[in-house]
Amino acid sequence: MKLMKLYSLAQELARDLVFEVDDEVVTLSIKGVLIANVLSKSYNFSFFEVSEDEFILALQASGYVIYLGIESDAELSEDAYPSIVQILISELMPHVNALIREAEKIKYRGSDVLLDDNMSPTLKEAMYDILIKHRKGKMPYEQFEVA
């Protein structure tokens, strides 16, 4: 039952974050969290669009990648992505780091969806595609641009 702590920490990431983008209020909701153990201990992040109002932010640190499935209540312009991603990373890294520390503590090796908070079918498909690739021992790098 060591994994229960990981699920609990992932629940803390389920939140709505409110941004002002182009003079409009936009809510970003974290709907999914996936953890995957990887060989690389380097730090990195990737961001990609799943649809006009959904994207995945991948944060890599200490041998783990945490994928955050995020839904927006409005379409975001590509010009807004850099500042939104910067704020997301600074806001969410303490929680992601806590999740990674716990994974290290229990010596978690594998990949699993830790949170599925009513993800849309499109976002769910993207997250589970990543999960399947990790479980097959493949890295989904072809889906991400290098940060």
How does pLDDT run across 67-110, given as a tens digit for each residue? 999 999 988 888 888 888 998 999 999 999 999 999 999 999 99
Q: Is the pLDDT of residue 119 over 70?
A: yes
In this prediction the pTM is 0.91
Cα separations in angstroms, 6 against 2, 101, 110, 131? 8, 10, 12, 16
pLDDT of residue 124: 96
**Both tokens of residue 79?**
């010009």
